């Protein structure tokens, strides 16, 4: 009986962990970190978008600094670039949600793994994007944050994964950091907003929290 009780208690603890995680996530998502006071004129824009699960930051190409733009593939008629971060195995082997497997999800959430930056390119602004007004300093900080996530080779060049994009208008590049249930694609975007001095969530693994604060 003692062994059975221990097994039951262990099973209950395992069940409680995701519930506790969800509750903490929901609470922290609702806590707002307000935009830092700044007297500079806000005359620039960045954009926020979600595919229904993960967020991406979109910048106008003319507002991307040379350091970040260097080494990225784009053409002159592509005026907007989106940036997203995530687990390498998940990105490459789960191009659609129909390709999702338990193994890929478990590895992304609980195993230390390499990560990628996903950069997509657009000719025109999309109607679904959320437009956010920023000043020069906030834009500079966002550029710096995104640049700092890219992994570079010994010569300082961004490391592209050739022929691994989902289409002709996106590419994957090696990134820093390891994905986990505590640092997801959405916490990466939220951290970028926070470090740029913009309104953000206290912490969130979800996409809806940040979107809700800007709608």
Per-domain boundaries in the chain:
31-214
Please determine, for residue 104, whether its predicted confidence score (pLDDT) is greater than 60.
Answer: no
CB proximity list for 28: less than 8 A, separation 6 or greater: 201, 202, 203, 204
Q: Can you say whether the dihedral through the CA atoms of 195, 200, 205, 207 is positive or negative? A: negative
Per-chain mean pLDDT for the chain: 87
Contact at 8 Å (CB) between 211 and 200?
no
3-state secondary structure of 82: strand
DSSP, residue by residue, 112-144: ---EEEEEEEESS--TTSEEEEE-HHHHHHHHH
Confidence of residue 9 (pLDDT cuts 50, 70, 90): low
Give yes or no for residue 135 having a pLDDT over 50: yes
For residue 159, pLDDT over 80 is answered with yes
Give the pTM: 0.86
Q: What is the pLDDT of residues 33-78, one digit of tens each?
A: 999 877 677 889 999 999 877 899 999 999 999 999 999 999 999 9
Contacts of residue 141, defined as CB under 8 A and 6 or more positions apart, other chains included, come to: 195, 196, 197
Residue 128 pLDDT grade (very low, low, confident, very high; cuts 50, 70, 90)? very high
pLDDT value of position 14: 62
Structure-model confidence comparison of residues 17 and 115, the more confident one: 115
């Amino acid at each position: 009986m003692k062994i059975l009780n221990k097994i039951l208690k262990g099973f209950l603890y395992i069940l409680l962990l995701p519930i506790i995680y969800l509750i903490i996530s929901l609470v922290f998502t609702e806590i707002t970190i307000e935009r830092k006071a700044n007297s500079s004129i806000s005359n620039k824009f960045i954009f926020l978008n979600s595919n229904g699960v993960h967020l991406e930051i979109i910048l106008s190409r003319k507002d991307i600094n040379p350091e970040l733009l260097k080494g990225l593939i784009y053409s002159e008629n592509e005026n907007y670039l989106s940036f997203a971060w995530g687990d390498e195995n998940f990105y490459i082997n789960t191009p659609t949600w129909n390709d999702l497997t338990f193994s890929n999800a478990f590895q992304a959430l609980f195993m230390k793994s390499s990560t990628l930056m996903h950069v997509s390119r657009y000719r025109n602004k999309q109607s679904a994007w959320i437009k956010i007004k920023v000043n020069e300093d906030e834009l500079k900080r966002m550029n710096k944050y995104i640049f700092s996530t890219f992994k570079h080779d010994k010569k300082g060049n961004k490391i592209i994964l050739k022929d691994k994009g989902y289409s002709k208008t996106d590419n994957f590049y090696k990134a820093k950091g390891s994905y986990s249930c505590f640092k997801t694609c959405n916490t990466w975007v939220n951290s970028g907003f926070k470090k740029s001095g913009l309104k953000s969530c206290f912490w969130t693994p979800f996409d809806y929290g940040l979107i809700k604060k800007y709608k």
